Amino acid sequence: MGENCNCCNCDCKTQLCEYKCELNGYNLYGGNFIKKIYDNTNDNDIDNNELDIVSNVEYCPMCNTLNEYPNSYDNSQKKFLNNNIEMLYYSNFLKNNIIHNFNSIECDHCSSILNKGKFTIENVPENSENLSMPNDFIKNIKLFNLEDSFVKEFEPNDYQEYRSLSDEYTTNISKNVLYCNTCNFVILNSLRKIYR
């Protein structure tokens, strides 16, 4: 993961830190500083299940936000992990290219090693004329390698998936993917998996 990325709220540079639940509260550790996020010293009701759990986070000192990010991938379990805890979603996918930090990830379906690339999808705005037949204007997902060469395309599963891909993945960074050359399996920058 790069040294800095942009905050999902204010666009300032974030710092990579560890967030830890301890007896005295929730603390943030990063480089030369420790920041107390929440003080537990007056609470008698400490959740022992959380004690000593450490999470990797991007921390924004300007707006005081935390975003968890995965630091590894388990090929045998097919899971992204943040200090051995499964992550299903990465919330800062619009501004940080997390997915291309992973190498040697095997396809969930054919065990080929996934390639780094990006996707495009044409966004057809909804209007009164095309809402009556939304399936008629679903556009294909097009995959490209890092050299911008076309690799392949496939149709989204349904209208909802098409709308999600065209409406939510709005930045160039958000369209970074890992894809399989052998089958139609893709992992998006948000960690979402797609298979056709």
Tens digits of residue pLDDT in 38-54: 665 555 555 667 788 89
For the segment 66-90, the average pLDDT, to the nearest whole number, is 96
Q: How many domains does the chain have?
A: 2
Structural domain harbouring 39: 1-68
User: Which of these ranges, 69-73, 116-120, 132-136, 162-166, has the smallest mean pLDDT?
Assistant: 132-136
Residue 86: inside a domain:
no
Could you tell me if 63 and 97 lie in one domain?
no
Residue 6 lies in a domain: yes
CA angle 154, 160, 161 (to 5 degrees): 35
Domain end residue (candidates: 33, 53, 68): 68
pLDDT (tens digit per residue) in 133-175? 555 678 899 999 999 999 999 999 888 999 899 999 999 999 9
Residue from 181, 119, 168, 169 nearest 148 by CA? 119
Pair (100, 184) in one structural domain: yes
Instruction: Tell me the C-alpha distance between 130 and 50, whole Å.
Output: 50
pTM equals: 0.87
Based on the domain organization, do 112 and 158 belong to the same domain?
Answer: yes
